[in-house]
A = this chain, B = another copy of it.
């Protein structure tokens, strides 16, 4: 899956800023890929990008119209279809992170074929995969892991990529979820592959390489989340990470959506991930802890980072508040 860039970000008629999270992520991490935004009404959420017609965006080089919003139920509203059709007639590819597939709309499929455009349903993956083999591959890899899902693994991965490149470590981000795929233009939604192929898909996402120094692989879920731990373990084995970064949201009261399940302790999470990672890379090690400290004051957050640095003997930071350089500093010696 390789989505042609640059993008025109389609915001439809959504008015809830939270619904435009994906589009915002693309704008935040890949501003150079965003030619502009396309909104159906003046009340639609704005990212502050240039409002462009499809024709204007096309003239400025946009290759793909990205559906960068989340809807309840993950479906594509009826009143968006004429715009999507029109975009295909103008030669745009379409990319969507929604549950409902673009390819399941006969009108869109037909237009795409007629205009030789591609439809990217990044939440799904139907291509043939191989099962993982655990064989060592060339290149260095960092994987983010977590105490739970939605604790900042994608944010941390993208922040690491940016800071690593700033510090001269030639690094590429490897996406494993729909937002990450739209941001980077490639990847596989690892939780959407058939269970037998989790580690194999991860090996495909970050194959042997020698043209750069590091791959930063976006983690998913948690070994301690009883809904998704299988995905996390397959990802851990397939990543063969040299470096692991633990992500955690301070103050989370229980595993997401499961009030009866406690968030695991930091120490237990470090131990379990390291033990499992060593199956395919005996040299795997943790290089830092990345926190979401939004529940704390800045002073409290600072104090906690210092305390945990002592306790776990690792750099501890909140990348939003304090950047992530302290972790990247550790990577030069790996």
Contact = CB atoms under 8 A, between A and B. Distances in A.
B199 A229 contact: yes
A230 interface: yes
Interface in A202-236: 223-224, 226-235
A275 B223 CA distance: 11
- Number of identical protomers: 2
Given A190-B195, A194-B193, A279 B224 contact: yes
A59 interface: no
Most buried by B among A131, A198, A224, A230: A230
Most buried by B among A196, A226, A258, A272: A226
A232 B190 CA distance: 17
A112 B258 CA distance: 42
A139 interface: no
Most buried by B among A134, A232, A238, A261: A134
Nearest to A201: B195
A226 B132 contact: yes
Contacts of A199: 226-230
B227 A133 contact: yes
A60 to B, nearest CB: 38
Interface of A: 131-135, 190-200, 223-224, 226-235, 237-238, 257-258, 260-261, 272, 275-276, 279-280
29 contacts: A132-B227, A133-B226, A133-B227, A133-B258, A134-B226, A134-B258, A134-B261, A135-B260, A192-B195, A195-B198, A196-B231, A198-B230, A199-B226, A199-B227, A199-B229, A199-B230, A200-B227, A226-B237, A226-B238, A226-B279, A226-B280, A229-B233, A229-B237, A229-B279, A230-B230, A230-B233, A230-B235, A230-B237, A233-B233
Rank and list the top 4 A-B pairs by shortest CB-CB distance, nearest first. A230-B234, A134-B226, A230-B230, A198-B230
